[in-house]
Structure 1
Amino acid sequence: MPWPRTLCWDADGPSRGRISDLWGRGTGVGMRYVVIGAGAVGGAVGGGGWPRPATRSCSWRAVRSTRHCGTGGLRLGTPEGARTHRLPVVDRPEALDLTADDVLVLAVKTQDSAAALDAWSVRPVAGGGTVGERLPLICAQNGVESERLALRRFCRVYGMCVWLPATFVRPGEVSAAGIDPVGREEQAAVRAGRIRFEPFDGSPRGGGSSWQSLSRGTGTIEADFLNGEIVLLGRLHGIPTPVNEVLRRTANAFARERREAGSMTVADLIALVDAEGP
């Protein structure tokens, strides 16, 4: 399979020393975040500057594709407008020299996690040891399975809660909607009117991560690690989970056959669940 698109950037400012001290790693001189998988979430996180970007490098495929369009770099669209970040290219793990001050952020789909983890965990780190032995890994993904996969290969793994309505538009371009922040004391009174999706630049958001996988015709989907997680728990505890089993099986069939997102009616889906039985 092609290598996942990768971004990396250096963090500056007060946060770097504090985070280095917290994790007990590196020299504390400066941290570089390596985002593995610059799709919707990875591209928005990298392009949006978490915590604050100084330099970045993006994937071979994304940068090469946008260069063909005459633009180059990573284009990030937000309600405040679009910005293009001109990025150097990293085309494979071997192209990046890793140090003790690097932090890896895994942002691939769960079905691609094992291959990415295998590729990165064995890379050497300056001063000795491997990435899996010495560097922290943050999982910025759907579901909960990737943390377990990562812990088989990495000593320090951190789960990350991603609340980010991002969309992969095309290689080298992502969009990220947003909401205005609300103070804690205001939430109860104003939440219903403040949290909503707002289209920007005339491009309404179609759906979430799995919907985007079907719309892009990638051939794979995360259903085994979303609905499949419920199915697994049900089988471990002897509890039938017919709805999630049907959703898992149907989503995989849609992805495999490259069927269009939304092409099955709710009535047809309910009929499949009814046929499944308890």
Structure 2
Amino acid sequence: MSRIVILGIGAIGGALAVMLSRAGQEVIGIARGAQLEAVRKGGLTLRTPEGALHAEFPCVATPAEAQLRADDVICLCVKTQHSEAALQQLRDAGLRDQPLFCFQNGVENERLALRYFPNVHGVTVMLPADFVQPGEVVCYGAPFIGSFDIGCYPEGIDAADAALVARLEAAGFPSATRAAVMQRKYGKLLMNLGNIVGAALGEGADGAPVTAALKAEAEAVLARAGIAWTDPGEDDGSRAAQLKIVDVPGITRVGSSTAQSLARGAGSVETDYLNGEVSLLGRLHGVPTPGNDWVTALAARLVREGAAPGAVTLAEVEAALGL
């Protein structure tokens, strides 16, 4: 069976690596910095509501070191702001026609990838997880830790999609092929517009009205642009019941991927490709997006200042957005 190459061993890539490895799949990870050192030294621990799981798997620093094979399956799990560099590394390492699956938030990654490679697939990721500490990923989903929708980009389904879904399901991830996977990803984009809100205010603050205002702007933009979207959970009650967010004993949840980036001092966040996607589409189609514009600039300021999650007051945000 073909090898699964996971580029980016963070919250999503780390969860994939542990679960697929434990299911008997051949996995090689590509990581960097302290995470690379930790995985090489002692493997990766996945903490879940039902206990800790551990796996050891080969991990390298670059796609070139992975020595890509003709039958590899590539899972791209870096944040969008790192996709361009990752894609160039994959090209330089010899990726050509192998299937490339974008396990990422936002809707720009697939388009970026298609510029370099012909065999690109979108993945809608539903996997509430934290990566803050090297050597450890925490997943808060139960009874299953995550689920995925997979399809060709820009649309359709092929044998590679079906094969990966089967491998993911065997590893404990309820998953499905979906011909209109990008509609699902636009729906997930709307959900992710609140990432910067939770990161800026802290997980304890009630940012729901702010997120609702950002989402309303986005829905107006998508309507003007003629972009269809579907809620990742609206038409599949059985899978929704399989993934509920619950506590992990002894762990305080950091929050969204944006909050995790601030907590780690990662030096960047993905807001430019979440709320910034709404701003881009608004400018292209003549729809004002002042709320998403403002929070995108806020995210850049928080990164520039090295701020921790919870550095902004609700009053400041509400005043800026006129709420």
Residue in 1 aligned with 2:24?
A: 53
Identity over aligned pairs, percent:
42
Structure 1 range deviating more: 86-95 or 257-266: 86-95
Where structure 1 has 5 or more consecutive residues not aligned to the other structure, the ranges are 1-29, 125-130
Q: Is the 8 A contact 1:63 1:73 kept in 2?
A: no
C-alpha distance in structure 2 between counterparts of 1:92 and 1:180, whole Å: 34
RMSD: 2.7
C-alpha distance in structure 1 between counterparts of 2:5 and 2:252, whole Å: 30
Calculate the TM-score normalised by the size of structure 2.
0.66
Residue in 1 aligned with 2:91?
A: 121
CA offsets, 1:18-62, max 9 Å, x none? xxxxxxxxxxxx211111000001001111128943343344642
Residue in 1 aligned with 2:49?
A: 79
- Aligned-residue offset at 1:221: 0.6
In structure 2, relative to structure 1, the CA distance for the partners of 1:109 and 1:51 (3 Å cut) is: same
Calculate the TM-score normalised by the size of structure 1.
0.76
AA of the residue aligned to 1:257: E
Residue in 1 aligned with 2:4?
A: 33
C-alpha distance in structure 1 between counterparts of 2:115 and 2:235, whole Å: 42
Residue in 2 aligned with 1:171?
A: 134
Structure 2 SS opposite 1:104: strand
- Aligned-residue offset at 1:143: 0.4
C-alpha distance in structure 2 between counterparts of 1:155 and 1:142, whole Å: 21
2:118 equivalent to 1:155: yes
- Aligned-residue offset at 1:163: 0.3
C-alpha distance in structure 2 between counterparts of 1:122 and 1:57, whole Å: 18
- Number of aligned pairs? 232
Structure 2 SS opposite 1:49: helix
C-alpha distance in structure 2 between counterparts of 1:164 and 1:134, whole Å: 28
Q: Is the 8 A contact 1:63 1:72 kept in 2?
A: no
C-alpha distance in structure 2 between counterparts of 1:109 and 1:262, whole Å: 21
| Runs (4+) off by over 3 Å | 50-61, 184-188
Structure 2 SS opposite 1:121: helix
- Aligned-residue offset at 1:273: 2.3
AA of the residue aligned to 2:138: S
- Aligned-residue offset at 1:272: 1.8
Larger Rg: 1
- Aligned-residue offset at 1:262: 1.5
CA offsets, 1:222-251, max 9 Å, x none? 111000000001100111100000010001
Q: Is the 8 A contact 1:74 1:84 kept in 2?
A: yes
2:62 equivalent to 1:92: yes
Where structure 2 has 5 or more consecutive residues not aligned to the other structure, the ranges are 145-173, 175-233
AA of the residue aligned to 2:123: M
C-alpha distance in structure 2 between counterparts of 1:36 and 1:185, whole Å: 31
Residue in 2 aligned with 1:8?
A: none
In structure 2, relative to structure 1, the CA distance for the partners of 1:78 and 1:237 (3 Å cut) is: same
C-alpha distance in structure 2 between counterparts of 1:159 and 1:185, whole Å: 19
Structure 1 range deviating more: 195-204 or 148-157: 195-204
Residue in 2 aligned with 1:111?
A: 81
